Amino acid sequence: MVSALNGRDGIAQAGLAQPDLIILDLGLPDMDGQYVLRHIREFSAVPIIVLSVRDKESDKVLALDSGANDYVVKPFSVLELLARIRRLLQSSAIAVNQTFVAKGLAIDYANRHVTLHGEDIRLSKKEFALLRHLTEHAGQLLTQSWLGRQIWGVSYEEQSHYLRILVGRLRSRLGDDASNPVYIETEPGVGYRFIDVQNNHPVVISPPA
């Protein structure tokens, strides 16, 4: 593991150490962590988990839309953080394999074939697109605006309520309960996360204790 005590060093280590994952604290002594996040995203697609005491919805949305893969509010459980790290690292392998298998759900991306506990699941084009984005980023919190733009394009802003309807339909196909989800978790006001999914060498960018 490589540690960086400020934003400038963190940006440098992100390029030099070529980490498998970055844990980024927003409260850095030399610059705002949001700037560090945007700068790293200019040259790297490495998974990034943001840690912060900032719990406002606007801060979460800004970080996620700027390229963070997950956002964890302090104080947090170490076990929860480790689980999120495992999910992110495993989701990176999914894109290479072009298949996804978890909790009885199997997806063949190339052939658009989905089964649940061995039974074929028929999905519409948009339902499959939503499932693909969620599972390709399994364990990551995806904002409503990002998901909407991936599925409907720039016109999404004019029909944002359709995403909630689409998520509801997909949950119904999977037999998922929004109040006690197995597959799709809602972060109110922010977005959705596919619940699932070990651990290599993260870079931690955090101010000194």
**Phi, psi at 78, each rounded to 5°:** -60, -40
> For residue 19, is pLDDT > 80?
yes
> For residue 204, is pLDDT > 70?
no
pLDDT band (50, 70, 90) for residue 160 = low
Instruction: Write out pLDDT tens, residues 46-81.
Output: 889 999 999 898 999 999 988 898 999 998 889 888
Q: For the residues 143-151, what does the mean pLDDT come to?
A: 84
According to the model, what pLDDT value does residue 112 have? Answer: 86
According to the model, what pLDDT value does residue 155 have? Answer: 58
Instruction: Write out pLDDT tens, residues 93-142.
Output: 555 457 788 889 999 887 889 999 999 999 998 999 999 989 888 888 88
pLDDT band (50, 70, 90) for residue 198 = very low
Average pLDDT, the chain: 84
Structural domain that includes position 142: 2-205
Cα 142–Cα 193–Cα 104 angle in degrees, nearest 5: 140
pTM value?
0.57
According to the model, what pLDDT value does residue 201 have? Answer: 44
pLDDT band (50, 70, 90) for residue 92 = low
> For residue 200, is pLDDT > 50?
no
12: number of Cβ within 10 Å: 11
pLDDT band (50, 70, 90) for residue 1 = confident
**What CATH number is given to the structural domain containing 122?**
1.10.10.10
Domains: count for the chain: 1
